[in-house]
């Protein structure tokens, strides 16, 4: 099995995504930081639905909460919602061309932002600055790169699309 | 039913299950959120996991630090480049400056060489700081902070920027005492720079004036004339300014003029003086001249005699001698009472008037043929002429060859003969 050969890619990619979410960045670029964990998890939900489901997303979200020292369960909630939506549209997304896929992922990230804003609003947490609404855009732009890179790592070679 | 009803129902059931799972997870997540939001119950769990998360933080920090270091290095790089450029510029400027300074140094060396040559050639001097000043009417002396160690010797002349200051009269290895030309016991042979008329300038005990006595009326001496050392007597080198004549007036006898001289040297000022190291030639052996002095000294006698001598040729000296001796005998020799009267009388006659009266013939006669014939009179300056006969009879010969301290003094000199007509 081709998949079995590269088991390490899934945890490694997630750890890297967590690290990237912690990466110190200049104040100006901070709002543009994409939701790395969400993007990487989205890939795995699309490409490896057998192993990555709601439960996995929940655990990854918890890990993210712990790592980012945010509200425990917040990312778990976001990732669960995102995973659920992805699972719903997985079949279609898989056959989208990469650009369209990127658009869909952008929408997904926007939804994620909305969920986050909703949670903050409900809990009367301080709302994130409006500049953070740009992060779905960068996520959308970065999606093709992430997709191709993870594909290459997972399959051992660049996949033609 | 469409053929896809089966799978669709299966999918639907899966959907329902998914939705239910979603609900469960969402509920779980929300519980966690609420629990965390209220009361921070999960703080303990956070603390435990923080240790696990720490390495991840560290890893996440790497790129940042890397970027920081790179940017730092880049900053340092540009800074160093800038600094390098500046330093190179400075080095260039400094090099140019150095080149200029080198040329200046070369110039300096050359000029110094010239100057030294000049100094060696003309004036071998020692710059001596003044240690002590003694300026009262009876004693006009300086003590210099330079002694025999600095090649200072008794008899050397002391000058300053203006002119002659005095002569060294005492010496120790480290100090020297200077008898100033204004000391009342000091006399300096001078010539009027303008016309070469020879005079003697006496100290008065005042640091701002010298005295000229018995200046013949006939001599062409005017107020404002510059006096320089004549070099006669060998004590002082010739040509150093002594002073300018500030006033001239007839003396009591109305036969001579008395002059006041403003010293050229600043005797009451300055902190350093120059000692001329060229040691004056030891005064010539006076024994040789002893016989002769009587002849011209006698000329001095009285003013008429002097006048006559002036007009007459040198050969007439003998007659004048007689007159002088006669005159001198009449005038009682006071100061040198202990000495032989004859010698004393010649001395008295010779001292001042000899000098002044001899001036006239010397001025004229020396120009003539007589200068060589009469070195002891014309050549020797009056003080020496006075000194030689005065000291001779009483004291032993050894004193005469080295008269430095005694030479300029005129303590043995009686009042001028011409003052009593």
pLDDT tens-digit map of B127-186 = 888 888 777 777 788 888 888 888 888 888 888 877 888 988 888 888 888 889 988 888
User: To probe the interface with A, which of B8, B25, B62 has the most A CB atoms within 10 Å?
Assistant: B25
Q: Report the distance separating Cα B259 and Cα B256, nearest Å.
A: 10
Question: Which two structure tokens, joined as six digits, stand for A81?
Answer: 């919602």
Q: Flag whether pLDDT at B310 surpasses 60.
A: no
Q: Report the distance separating Cα B386 and Cα B306, nearest Å.
A: 17
With contacts defined as CB-CB under 8 Å, which chain A residues touch B57?
22, 67
Q: How confident is the model at residue B119 (pLDDT cuts 50, 70, 90)?
A: low
With contacts defined as CB-CB under 8 Å, which chain B residues touch A16?
none
Q: Flag whether pLDDT at B117 surpasses 70.
A: no
Q: Give the mean model confidence (pLDDT) for residues B278-304.
A: 50
Listed range (A144-158, B186-200, B289-303) with the worst mean pLDDT = B289-303
Give B319-352 pLDDT, tens digit per residue: 444 444 454 444 444 433 333 433 333 333 333 4
CA distance A120 to chain B (A): 11
Q: Give the mean model confidence (pLDDT) for residues B262-283.
A: 76
Q: Flag whether pLDDT at B49 surpasses 60.
A: yes
User: To probe the interface with B, which of A54, A57, A73 has the most B CB atoms within 10 Å?
Assistant: A73
Q: Which helix (H) or strand (E) holds B211?
A: strand B210-216
Is residue A54 within 8 Å of A41, Cβ to Cβ?
no
Q: Flag whether pLDDT at B114 surpasses 70.
A: no
Between B279 and B157, whose confidence is greater? B157
Question: Which two structure tokens, joined as six digits, stand for B283?
Answer: 């005064």
Q: Is ipTM beyond 0.85? A: no
Cα torsion angle, B181, B212, B366, B343, sign: negative
Q: How confident is the model at residue B235 (pLDDT cuts 50, 70, 90)?
A: confident
Residues paired with B272 in a beta bridge:
B129
pLDDT at B261: 92
User: Which of B213, B120, B201 has the alpha carbon at shortest distance from B166?
Assistant: B201
**Per-range mean pLDDT, top range of A143-152, B9-18, B281-290:** A143-152
3-state secondary structure B140-189: EEEEECCCHHHCCCCCCEEECCCCEEEEEEEECCCCEEEEECCCCCCEEE
Is residue A128 within 8 Å of A116, Cβ to Cβ?
yes
User: To probe the interface with A, which of B7, B10, B37, B48 has the most A CB atoms within 10 Å?
Assistant: B37
Of B32, B46, B57, the CB nearest to A22: B57
pLDDT at B41: 67
Is residue A36 within 8 Å of A17, Cβ to Cβ?
yes
Of A20, A23, A80, the CB nearest to B26: A80
CB burial readout B247-268, b (16+ within 10 A) else e: ebeebeeebbbebbbebbbebe
Query: For chain B, which residues lie within 8 Å of any Cβ of chain A, measuring from their own Cβ?
Result: 15, 18-19, 21-22, 25-26, 28-37, 42, 45-46, 49-50, 52-53, 56-57, 59-61, 63-64
Contact A77 B57 (CB under 8 A): no
Question: Which two structure tokens, joined as six digits, stand for A155?
Answer: 């399959």
User: Which of A19, A37, A66 has the alpha carbon at shortest distance from B59?
Assistant: A19
Q: Flag whether pLDDT at B287 surpasses 60.
A: no
Between B290 and B31, whose confidence is greater? B31
Q: Flag whether pLDDT at B123 surpasses 60.
A: yes
Q: How far is CA A57 from the centre of its chain?
A: 10
Is residue B161 within 8 Å of B150, Cβ to Cβ?
no
Is residue A150 within 8 Å of A40, Cβ to Cβ?
yes
Is residue B19 within 8 Å of A85, Cβ to Cβ?
no
Rg (CA), chain A: 15
SS3 state of residue B416: coil
Cα torsion angle, B62, B67, B70, B73, sign: negative
pLDDT at B1: 41
Between B16 and B280, whose confidence is greater? B16
Contact B60 A87 (CB under 8 A): no
State percent of chain B over pLDDT 70: 59
Q: Report the distance separating Cα A99 and Cα A24, nearest Å.
A: 29
With contacts defined as CB-CB under 8 Å, which chain B residues touch A66?
46, 49-50, 52-53
Q: Which helix (H) or strand (E) holds B378?
A: none
Q: State the number of CA atoms in the 13 A half-sphere of B382 facing the CB.
A: 33
H helices within chain A, ranges in order?
9-22, 36-47, 54-68, 74-95, 98-122, 135-155
Q: Which helix (H) or strand (E) holds B316?
A: none
Contact B18 A84 (CB under 8 A): yes
Say what angle helices B43-122 and A54-68 make with each other, to 10 degrees. 40
Q: Report the distance separating Cα B190 and Cα B237, nearest Å.
A: 11
Nearest chain B residue to A57, by CA: B25
Q: Report the distance separating Cα A115 and Cα A74, nearest Å.
A: 9
Residues 6+ apart with CB under 8 A from A14: A37, A40, A41, A44, A60, A63
CA distance B91 to chain A (A): 41
* Phi, then psi, of B170 in degrees rounded to 5: -140, 150
pLDDT at B69: 81
Is residue B181 within 8 Å of B264, Cβ to Cβ?
no
Q: How far is CA B397 from the centre of its chain?
A: 39
Across B218-289, the runs of DSSP E, i.e. the strands, are 226-229, 241-250, 256-263, 272-276
With contacts defined as CB-CB under 8 Å, which chain B residues touch A77?
25-26, 29-30, 33
Question: Which two structure tokens, joined as six digits, stand for B30?
Answer: 């929300």
Is residue B274 within 8 Å of B361, Cβ to Cβ?
no
Q: What is the mean pLDDT of chain B?
A: 68
Q: Report the distance separating Cα B390 and Cα B343, nearest Å.
A: 6
Is residue B191 within 8 Å of B363, Cβ to Cβ?
no
- With 0-12 / 13-18 / 19 or more C-beta atoms within 10 angstroms meaning exposed / middle / buried, residue B342 is middle
Nearest chain A residue to B59, by CA: A19
Q: How many residues does chain A have?
A: 161
Question: Which two structure tokens, joined as six digits, stand for A116?
Answer: 């986050």
pLDDT at B124: 74
With contacts defined as CB-CB under 8 Å, which chain B residues touch A53?
21
Q: Give the mean model confidence (pLDDT) for residues B83-91.
A: 91
Rg (CA), chain B: 52
Residues 6+ apart with CB under 8 A from B297: B324, B346, B349, B350, B354, B358, B377, B385, B389
pLDDT at B141: 82
Residues paired with A50 in a beta bridge:
none
Is residue B75 within 8 Å of A110, Cβ to Cβ?
no
User: To probe the interface with B, which of A66, A75, A124 has the most B CB atoms within 10 Å?
Assistant: A66
| Ordered per-residue pLDDT tens for chain A, 161 residues | 444 556 788 888 888 888 888 777 777 777 788 888 999 999 999 888 888 888 889 999 888 888 877 778 888 898 999 999 988 888 888 888 888 999 999 999 999 989 888 888 887 777 677 777 888 898 899 999 999 888 888 887 655 44
Q: What is the pTM of this model?
A: 0.40
Q: How far is CA B176 from the centre of its chain?
A: 17
């Amino acid at each position: 099995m081709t998949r079995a050969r590269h088991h390490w890619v899934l945890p490694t990619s997630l750890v890297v995504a967590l690290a990237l979410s912690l990466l110190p960045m200049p104040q100006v670029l901070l709002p543009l930081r994409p939701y790395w964990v969400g993007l990487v998890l989205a890939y795995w939900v699309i490409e490896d639905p057998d192993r990555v489901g709601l439960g996995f997303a929940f655990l990854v979200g918890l890990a993210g909460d712990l790592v980012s020292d945010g509200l425990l369960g917040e990312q778990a909630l976001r990732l669960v919602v995102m995973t659920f939506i992805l699972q719903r549209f997985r079949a279609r997304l898989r056959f989208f061309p990469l650009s369209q896929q990127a658009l869909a992922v952008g929408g997904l990230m926007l939804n994620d932002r909305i969920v986050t804003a909703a949670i903050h609003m409900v809990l009367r947490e301080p709302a994130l600055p409006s500049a953070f609404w740009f992060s779905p855009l960068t996520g959308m732009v970065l999606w093709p790169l992430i997709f191709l890179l993870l594909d290459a790592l997972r399959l051992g070679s660049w996949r033609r699309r | 039913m469409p053929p896809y009803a089966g799978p669709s129902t299966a999918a639907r059931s899966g959907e329902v299950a998914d939705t239910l799972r979603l609900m469960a997870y969402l509920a779980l997540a929300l519980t966690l959120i609420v629990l965390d939001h209220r009361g921070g119950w999960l703080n303990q769990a956070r603390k435990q996991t923080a240790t696990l998360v720490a390495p991840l933080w560290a890893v996440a920090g790497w790129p940042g630090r890397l970027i920081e270091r790179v940017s730092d290095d880049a900053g340092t790089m540009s800074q160093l480049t800038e600094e390098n450029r500046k330093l190179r510029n400075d080095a260039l400027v400094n090099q140019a400056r150095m080149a200029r300074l080198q040329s200046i140094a070369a110039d300096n060396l050359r000029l110094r060489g010239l100057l030294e040559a000049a100094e060696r050639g003309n004036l071998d001097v020692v710059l001596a700081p003044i240690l002590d000043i003694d300026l009262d009417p009876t004693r006009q002396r300086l003590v210099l902070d330079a002694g025999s160690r600095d090649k200072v010797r008794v008899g050397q002349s002391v000058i300053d920027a203006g002119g002659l200051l005095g002569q060294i009269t005492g010496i120790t290895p480290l100090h020297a005492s200077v008898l100033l030309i204004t000391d009342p016991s000091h006399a300096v042979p001078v010539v009027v720079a303008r016309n070469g008329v020879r005079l003697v300038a006496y100290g008065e005990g005042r640091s701002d004036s010298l005295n000229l006595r018995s200046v013949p009326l006939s001599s062409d001496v005017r107020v404002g004339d510059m006096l320089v050392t004549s070099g006669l007597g060998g004590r002082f080198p010739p040509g150093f300014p002594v002073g300018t004549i500030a006033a001239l007036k007839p003396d009591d006898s109305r036969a001579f003029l008395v002059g006041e001289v403003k010293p050229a040297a600043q005797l009451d000022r300055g902190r350093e003086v120059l000692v001329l190291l060229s040691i004056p030639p030891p005064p010539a052996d006076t024994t040789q001249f002893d016989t002769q002095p009587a002849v011209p000294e006698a000329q001095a006698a009285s003013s008429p005699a002097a006048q006559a001598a002036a007009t007459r040729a040198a050969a007439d000296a003998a007659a004048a001698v007689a007159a002088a001796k006669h005159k001198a005998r009449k005038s009682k020799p006071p100061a040198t009472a202990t000495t032989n009267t004859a010698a004393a009388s010649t001395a008295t006659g010779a001292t001042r008037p000899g000098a002044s009266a001899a001036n006239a013939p010397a001025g004229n006669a020396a120009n003539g043929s007589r200068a060589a014939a009469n070195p002891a009179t014309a050549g020797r300056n009056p003080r020496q002429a006075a000194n030689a006969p005065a000291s001779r009879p009483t004291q032993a010969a050894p004193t005469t060859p080295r008269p430095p301290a005694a030479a300029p003094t005129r303590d043995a000199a009686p009042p001028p003969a011409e003052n009593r007509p």
